[in-house]
Structure 1
Amino acid sequence: MSIQQKINTKRVCLFVVAVVLVVAAAYSSLTPSQTEQIAQSGSENATPVATSTVSPEVLVASATQEAQAISEPALPPQPVVEVFNGKIEKGATASTLLNKWLTKAEVYQLAAATDKAFRLTKIRRGRPYRVVTTDGEFTRFEYEIDNDQYLSVAKTDEGFVAECKDIKYDIITERVNGIIASSLYEAMTASGEKPALAVRIGDIFGWEIDFIRDIRKNDSFTAVVEKRYRDGKFQGYGKILAARFVNQGNKYEGYYLKDKDGFTQYYTADGKNLRRAFLKAPLKFTRISSKFTNRRLHPILKTYRPHHGVDYAAPRGTPVYAIGNGKIVKVSRSRGAGKYVKIRHSNGYESAYLHLSRFARGLKVGKKVKQGQLIAYVGSTGYSTGPHLDFRMKRNGKYINPTRATNPRAPKATKEQLTILKEKVELLRLDNDTAQAPEQVVGKGA
């Protein structure tokens, strides 16, 4: 017999003994005449005898409760979970945030565990964070990296475990309309929306419409957009599923899809990509200090030689962006070019960025980059007389002048995408405003 079975058997025996003793005590408190009447009351019509003593039934019930209390141990108290919310302040570090709950050694272990997911040295002022404790002991740390992801670091028996997770939002899809009186921003505000939505619409149609010079009174826009909420509070816009802009009588439409590489694209109803393959320039520059030419006096070598690029004068540290979607094929340094990056694009195009001061974090060969993604910063490394970007392009292995290169549209929709596109087109065909019930989704969605 197991130990637990022996314990249960002992508890049952104690219960039986307790009941017997209670019954005996009850009968012993009765007078002889009362005892005789109880013994003779075998029939249903027997008349009970009144007594001022406690009845045996009550005593038996009391003993039963006591026995049950002995056999059923009290449940342990529920753990107390507390959540401490805050925002990153100027000069805050992992140590200043967590020293209330963790030792210096534990903070170091926690920070080391986050290196692959998200380094805590990159936390930014103003971003939300929270600390979760159980019975006063540290359980979890969370930091919102951006509006789509947060870092979660949990304390386990094996140590600290870190991972990046998608932020959950309640999504409501709505149709937004407006008519231009003076500008898209003004019309967006008049419709009750945030100016950020005007920027997003401007990005969609930026290759088709000059929103500074081309806008006219009575132009109009319509957008089917996801609005994101957390705890009932508006948290910004998600995907713009479809948009229309009527400019000077010309109608432009764009529908949201992702290409084979997972990048967001907007297409016309017949599958034409609204985006051009390349940006007009990879940075915000002060001036062009040297043009593309086959014969230029080199400022350092003092010899005439080809300059198969365009030099953009800009302050040291100016961000440099990828001109188009592609894959990194070179992140290196040479004596002449200094620090440089090369990107291979579709249709035989290649772009190069020379004389950089430093590369963007995480940049490496084989990584895919999207148009407008930060890749490096302007510098003056290599053969250079001052801060600038030497930007070069090739097509099918031959240098071309970036300022004169044709800028084709990005790849059109595939046959599979065209099937999905037909459903998207219907979003702008509805005459009445529609709104879905709130739907729980994770991050950006597909």
Structure 2
Amino acid sequence: MYIQQKINKKRVSLAIVTAILVAFTAYVSLTPSQSTQTAQNETKSTTSVATSNASPKALIASATHQIQSSTEPEPDPQPVVKVFSGKIGKGETASTLLNKWLTKAEVYELASTTKKTFRLTKIRRGRPFRVTTTDGDFTQFEYEIDNDQCLSVTKSDDGFVAKCKDIKYDITTERIHGVINSNLYEAIANAGEKAALAARIGDIFGWEIDFIRDIRKNDNFTVVVEKRFREGKFQGYGKILAARFVNQGNTHEGYYMKDKDGFTQYYTAEGKNLRRAFLKAPLKFSRISSKFSKHRLHPVLKTYRPHNGIDYAAPRGTPVSAIGNGKVIKIARSKAAGKYVKIRHSNGYESGYLHLSRFAKGLRVGKKVKQGQTIAYVGATGLATGPHLDFRMKKNGKYINPAKAINPRAPKATKAQIAILKEKVKLLDPVKDTAQTPNQAVDNAV
């Protein structure tokens, strides 16, 4: 490439010199009478007159410009980039989607590349995707796994490269206030907001307020919430940074913060956790088929022995939830308990889930789970007469009756966190701090 450029430069220089000599020779060869005759014969052409009367320098410059213009390389054409976007259709797979741009072998290679990042067998109907091509050739595939993360697969000379990346949003923080006339959902709608916000408020104060029985007219709420936008379109709510609900004259407040394990919690300004340590039950059930007992006739063995749990009758495949935040300490199978899971919680508590049909994908020993997370599914493995969940709890190594277990609040905030929480009070009432605007209070307290 370097040698070719050098040759091209020499050719251009030679052409310029030649043009200069030709122009100069033509000029000096014209006699005065010839010049006059030429001018008289070509008075109708201003261009010719201008050329014949031009000075040697002008002729040389003109010739040089023409030579340079003809030797300048044309710019490379810009690549044509196209983006094809849409949503995963009913019955659509990665193969049926990508075979428009890739061969079967390339689709297989791409899918193999994503196995450690996100298996393409998990793509769901209705989720957005984008395919980018350059000059008609595939260059990138993007699939939004959920509202927070996106799978990105790019093609290079070395093959495919897959990674997960955070979805970027334009985020605004707003303070929303509403008054109850009949129920929370109606009040949220009257405030111009979506029903999802009502559900979020219910989750925060669900341990404090029964939103079916306790709500009264003129109860009110105030929340400071993040709103997420993409390309100017509302995409849902982010974190609720602070919330207040006044119910029957009693004020309840909660402020967002992560605990030491990275779980989202809502605390009072004094550090009290609004969440209880455990759910009331690990699944939605139709009935209790057997209670906790120290002396029960075993339905299979036909002998009396302790029953250290509560049996919840439920259809096979019913999701089973972790009753509280904790860490999985055992996933196993035994002749009596069938498939089972054990979780260790804080303050000496442990929960057990027996007779399962299968475990949730990705569940493993040592993994942290959060309250309400699906960990398994109801079955009838082990010594069981039908599908049900045998749910058990221990406190400091001893079995306790789950129905009578004290349900303490989740751990309170640390001293360092309490200092931050007291600052977050300004989120709900920024006018109390006259030195700050509402937006400044939000920025400083988050």
TM-score w.r.t. length of structure 2: 0.90
Q: Which residue of the partner structure matches residue 419 of structure 1?
A: 419
Q: Which residue of the partner structure matches residue 248 of structure 2?
A: 248
**Superposition map of 1:341-356 within 5 A:** 341-356=341-356
Structure 1 range deviating more: 58-67 or 191-200 = 58-67
The AA in structure 2 aligned to 1:141 is F
Q: Which residue of the partner structure matches residue 396 of structure 1?
A: 396
Q: Which residue of the partner structure matches residue 278 of structure 2?
A: 278
> CA, structure 1 residues 266+62, in 2 after alignment: closer, same or farther (shift >3 Å)?
same
Query: Cα distance, 1:33 vs. partner?
Result: 5.9
> 1:200-239 CA distances to partner (integer Å, 9 max, x unpaired)?
0010000000000000000000000001111101111000
For the residues of structure 2 that align with 1:51 and 1:77, how far apart are their CA atoms?
Answer: 38
SS at match of 1:227: strand
The answer to whether the Cα contact below 8 Å between 1:339 and 1:358 also exists between their aligned partners in 2 is yes
For the residues of structure 2 that align with 1:215 and 1:354, how far apart are their CA atoms?
Answer: 38
> CA, structure 1 residues 19+343, in 2 after alignment: closer, same or farther (shift >3 Å)?
same
Matched, 1:53 2:52: yes
The AA in structure 1 aligned to 2:239 is K
The answer to whether the Cα contact below 8 Å between 2:311 and 2:389 also exists between their aligned partners in 1 is yes
Higher RCO (CA-CA < 8 Å; seq separation 6+): 1
Q: Which residue of the partner structure matches residue 309 of structure 2?
A: 309
Q: Which residue of the partner structure matches residue 128 of structure 2?
A: 128
The answer to whether the Cα contact below 8 Å between 1:29 and 1:53 also exists between their aligned partners in 2 is no
> CA, structure 1 residues 121+63, in 2 after alignment: closer, same or farther (shift >3 Å)?
same
> 1:61-120 CA distances to partner (integer Å, 9 max, x unpaired)?
343234434664222111111000111111101111011110001011111111111111
For the residues of structure 2 that align with 1:72 and 1:309, how far apart are their CA atoms?
Answer: 87
> CA, structure 1 residues 125+21, in 2 after alignment: closer, same or farther (shift >3 Å)?
same
**Superposition map of 1:13-28 within 5 A:** 13-28=13-28
For the residues of structure 1 that align with 2:180 and 2:126, how far apart are their CA atoms?
Answer: 35
Q: Which residue of the partner structure matches residue 40 of structure 1?
A: none
> CA, structure 1 residues 33+422, in 2 after alignment: closer, same or farther (shift >3 Å)?
farther
Q: Which residue of the partner structure matches residue 42 of structure 2?
A: none
Q: Which residue of the partner structure matches residue 327 of structure 1?
A: 327
SS at match of 2:361: coil
Q: Which residue of the partner structure matches residue 442 of structure 1?
A: none
Query: Cα distance, 1:335 vs. partner?
Result: 1.0
**Superposition map of 1:47-446 within 5 A:** 53=52, 55=54, 56-69=56-69, 72-431=72-431, 434=438
For the residues of structure 2 that align with 1:91 and 1:302, how far apart are their CA atoms?
Answer: 49
For the residues of structure 2 that align with 1:5 and 1:159, how far apart are their CA atoms?
Answer: 33
Query: Cα distance, 1:21 vs. partner?
Result: 3.0
CA RMSD of aligned residues (A): 2.2
> CA, structure 1 residues 271+26, in 2 after alignment: closer, same or farther (shift >3 Å)?
farther
Query: Cα distance, 1:165 vs. partner?
Result: 1.0
For the residues of structure 2 that align with 1:328 and 1:52, how far apart are their CA atoms?
Answer: 93
SS at match of 1:60: helix
The answer to whether the Cα contact below 8 Å between 1:309 and 1:392 also exists between their aligned partners in 2 is yes
- Identical amino acids, percent of aligned pairs: 75
Flag the structure with higher helix content. Answer: 2
> CA, structure 1 residues 52+145, in 2 after alignment: closer, same or farther (shift >3 Å)?
closer
The answer to whether the Cα contact below 8 Å between 1:11 and 1:70 also exists between their aligned partners in 2 is no
For the residues of structure 1 that align with 2:35 and 2:232, how far apart are their CA atoms?
Answer: 73
> CA, structure 1 residues 150+6, in 2 after alignment: closer, same or farther (shift >3 Å)?
closer
Structure 1 moving runs of 4+ over 3 Å:
32-36, 56-59, 69-72, 431-436
The answer to whether the Cα contact below 8 Å between 1:153 and 1:162 also exists between their aligned partners in 2 is yes
The AA in structure 2 aligned to 1:75 is P
The AA in structure 2 aligned to 1:166 is D
> CA, structure 1 residues 197+54, in 2 after alignment: closer, same or farther (shift >3 Å)?
farther
TM-score w.r.t. length of structure 1: 0.90
Structure 1: stretches of 5+ with no match in the other structure: 37-49, 440-445
For the residues of structure 2 that align with 1:79 and 1:194, how far apart are their CA atoms?
Answer: 43
Structure 2: stretches of 5+ with no match in the other structure: 37-48
Q: Which residue of the partner structure matches residue 46 of structure 2?
A: none
The AA in structure 2 aligned to 1:280 is K
The AA in structure 1 aligned to 2:94 is A
Query: Cα distance, 1:358 vs. partner?
Result: 0.7
